[in-house]
Amino acid sequence: MYAVKPMSSAFKVQLLTGPAFRRAPAISKAGKNGVPRLTRVARSTFWPIRAVVNSDQNKATETAEKSVERKDVNGSLLVSPPTEKEGMVDVRAVITIRKKMKEKLVDKIEDQWEYFINGIGQGIMIQLISEEIDPVTSSGKSVESSVRGWLPKPSSDFNIVEYGADFSVPSDFGNPGAVLITNLHGKEFYLLEITVHGFDGGPIFFPANTWIHSRNDNPESRIIFRNQAYLPSQTPAGIRDLRREDLLSIRGNGKGERKVHDRIYDYDVYNDLGNPDKDQDLARPVLGNEEWPYPRRCRTGRPPSKKDPRSESRIEKPHPVYVPRDETFEEIKQNTFSAGRLKAVLHNLIPSIAATLSSSDIPFTCFSDIDKLYNNGFFLKDDEQDTKENPFNVMKLVLSAGQKFAWLRDNEFARQALAGVNPVNIEILEEFPILSKLDPAVYGPPESAITKELIEEELSGMSVEKAIEEKRLFILDYHDMLLPFINKINSLPERKAYASRTIFFYTKKGVLKPIAIELSLPPTPSSPWNKRVYTHGHDATSYWIWKLAKAHVCSVDAGVHQLVNHWLRTHASMEPYIIATHRHLSSMHPIYKLLHPHMRYTLEINALARQSLINGGGIIEASFGPGKYAMEISSAAYKSMWRFDMEALPADLIRRGMAVEDPSMPCGVKLVIEDYPYASDGLLVWSAIEEWVKSYVEHFYSDPNSVTSDVELQAWWNEIKNRGHYDKRNEPWWPTLNTKEDLSKIVTIMIWIASGQHAAINFGQYPFGGYVPNRPTLMRRLIPQENEPRYEKFISSPQQTFLSSLPTQLQATKVMAVQDTLSTHSADEEYLGQMSKLHGHWINDHEVQNMFNKFSAKLEEIEKIINDRNKNNHLKSRCGAGIPPYELLLRSSGPGVTGRGIPNSISI
């Protein structure tokens, strides 16, 4: 680091008036919509450095230089007590910047130059804006300065750099409510925080955690507000215009292609999944219209494709898809996923697997082929990959022995409907016979082939009516969702699927067991009743047929889980909430502050998914049953079943009949099956979130009309309904936003989706799906029938028939690698109820901080309750020989694949 010697006054004046001096931002009253804009000052106007140029220049210069040199034993800044002179007060702003953790030589050289430029006051300009109005300008009072020098930092924070900026402010300046910061360097920097010392009441914090663009890219200065929460009507007069200006800058104008440095949040349809310019077979329908409704995504503004003007042109890996600058992965996350595991999987591993396994893509021939992936690892060709760059060069996939053999058992198949990776589709069977709601003219008779007599054979003397009355019959019903797509799927090479229904019986011993599976194909002229029912049977042939039927149900369940419950109901539905929050809620808004931790990284992971996972020809299409029709099924599910109000956990459980209303219970519901780990643990987490949100909302919205009079909040909710979920805008079930109770319910749903709901259906993907026979993601053969030539081969070699129906070695290895990655926690993960160092000064409100601490303590109590439940021998779904404990809703976790942990946000 270069040392900067004290400069003479003459040299300082030369810097201020010479040609090297950069122009600084100022506030102009002429702005769009009557809102003042930040503009550059005219060339003849220079930035006054109040710490240097004032009525007593030499004395101020000496004071500023001495203050730069003062530091404590750790090398951190010591701030001198404020000194008043001639009605002025000396204050200091400390600007904390984070540098790259891994720097190349050129970066280090550039750093040294930046240190020098900042040291002489020519790199970063800063302006304090008071919360009080200047009667002359009718804007907030302001003082300006530049950062000068740098402050040594503790060795433990080697990537943190601090700079100081000195000001002399009038004694009647009032408290600063905003900071304008201008980056005069040629490249961006990451601003962690600005702390202003010298005002009454102690230091004032301006949390940033944002990239500050170079003025070469955007001449506008960045606005950073202090950590005080204000409703719009409570905004101090001095920063009211800046509040509006900042929101306008984030919304953009809906035009042009977005640049990397932009922080513009806007909406678009899903028109970037296909790639017709590369191959017509990769063309995909646009999602987000009357035919294919869908939530909106973040707009990138790329030009249309050449062959389909309705579709956006693609950006292929490794080039990034635009997301607003602050939404991109930070360095630790990049090292874990973008530049590490995720990149290895998507860019390096899968092509290498394909090369290793050859283009013919062979099936598994025996179960030992599958076991080898876990026992020996998967060795990639040495000439294909650099072992230093690819962490999967030897991909050793580890599962417990019990997990490998669990798939053989009926009770494990049923248990996973309650405690697996997709425990959100099982529902109570309340009516019999079972009827389809599809058009019978197209899809045949609505009655299910599952008869009363067939069920009663499995009920040990109990009638169907009695079992329904006692709430003992349950169903996993994918018939209506999938039947319209079955012919399309089965026309794809090496893909075969059914529309399935599975009936379960809850025994008096507290165990769920499958008793019947219906597999349906669309009717044909020769087979108008194309439905078959299978039971577990007692002979060898029935045993293997039953196993094939369960495998088909698992593959259907895996597709619905990934495309509907995981992608649509968490990732895709959350994106419009995030966009609207940035566009309409100021960073000062209390609801913005509440939601902000639950929005981290989601737009980035969604952009990566559109690029490599859910795109035409991507991992999901290649490895899951629906193939190229995957996103069409997701859109159809959005159209037929997605409702915002039903995304609340208690409401969803009641809708599925898995719970009944009970005001005496903590969440107002009582579970029909007590031993339902996802629901019982989920309700604990839901209740904690709900209590935290209610107390927070009541703290800020104490007046009866405070919700309806909050213009930012009302615009936020209107835009979520009318733009973010445009295709559902006219639905009658949207909640109103008139009271603090309405607001609490809405925000609780959003936080639950981003945290507990996503955790429950994401981080078990590898533990449950890593072993192919347990949860095949696709099937390549229909079940052989007695009148088919394949049936004789099945009778002679049922194991071979079963294995040939599973995904191929390439498909299975792709799925295992991706599921391993998607189940991985990053080292910088932020978990529910935990506050990271980055957000330590998120709000200046001790009462709110106490509420948050109470929320965090509640989650710790919940962890203990869940751990105790996992030791309770009466809870068969979570305890017993070979049964893994249900830990997906334990809030804390270490990094890696742990099968537990609730991150604040959807970050993978």
pLDDT at 397: 42
Q: What percent of the chain has pLDDT over 70?
A: 82
Cα dihedral across residues 842, 844, 846, 848: positive or negative: negative
Annotated catalytic residue 425: no
DSSP state of 908: -
Integer Cα distance of 657 and 429 in angstroms: 8
pLDDT at 13: 32
Q: Which of 434, 503, 450, 510 is nearest to 474 (CA)?
A: 503
Annotated catalytic residue 181: no
* 794-803 average pLDDT score: 94
Integer Cα distance of 775 and 766 in angstroms: 10
Integer Cα distance of 559 and 497 in angstroms: 11
Task: State the pLDDT confidence band at 816, using cuts at 50, 70 and 90.
Answer: confident
pTM of the model: 0.88
pLDDT at 353 over 90: no
CB 70 within 8 A of CB 146: no
Annotated catalytic residue 561: no
Question: Chain-wide mean pLDDT for the chain?
Answer: 85
Task: Give residue-wise pLDDT tens across range 437-470.
Answer: 999 999 999 999 999 999 999 998 899 999 999 9
Annotated active-site residue in 758, 825, 866, 870 = 758
CB 105 within 8 A of CB 111: no
Q: Which of 22, 24, 51, 25 is nearest to 38 (CA)?
A: 25
Task: State the pLDDT confidence band at 552, using cuts at 50, 70 and 90.
Answer: very high
CB 64 within 8 A of CB 46: no
Integer Cα distance of 352 and 153 in angstroms: 44
Task: Give residue-wise pLDDT tens across range 635-653.
Answer: 999 999 999 999 999 999 9
Annotated active-site residue in 239, 673, 749, 908 = 908
* 192-205 average pLDDT score: 94
Annotated active-site residue in 479, 536, 561, 571 = 571
Task: State the pLDDT confidence band at 43, using cuts at 50, 70 and 90.
Answer: very low
Write out the two tokens for 200: 């009454």
Integer Cα distance of 834 and 832 in angstroms: 6
Task: Give residue-wise pLDDT tens across range 729-773.
Answer: 999 999 999 999 999 999 999 999 999 999 999 999 988 887 888
Integer Cα distance of 687 and 148 in angstroms: 50
pLDDT at 309 over 70: yes
857-862 contact pairs (CB < 8 A, 24+):
858/688, 858/691, 858/692, 858/833, 859/685, 859/688, 859/832, 859/833, 859/891, 860/833, 862/681, 862/684, 862/685, 862/688, 862/891
Which H helix or E strand runs over 745? helix 740-752
Task: Give residue-wise pLDDT tens across range 209-246.
Answer: 999 999 999 999 999 999 999 999 999 999 999 999 99
Question: In a 10 Å sphere around its CB, with 0-12 CB exposed, 13-18 middle and 19+ buried, how is residue 180 labelled?
Answer: buried
Per the listing, tokens 């070979």 go with: 882
Annotated catalytic residue 566: yes
Q: How many CB atoms lie within 10 A of CB 106?
A: 8
DSSP state of 597: G
Annotated active-site residue in 530, 606, 762, 870 = 762
* 804-823 average pLDDT score: 85
Integer Cα distance of 322 and 298 in angstroms: 9
Q: How far apart are the first and last CA of the chain?
A: 38
Annotated active-site residue in 197, 213, 536, 566 = 566
Annotated catalytic residue 350: no
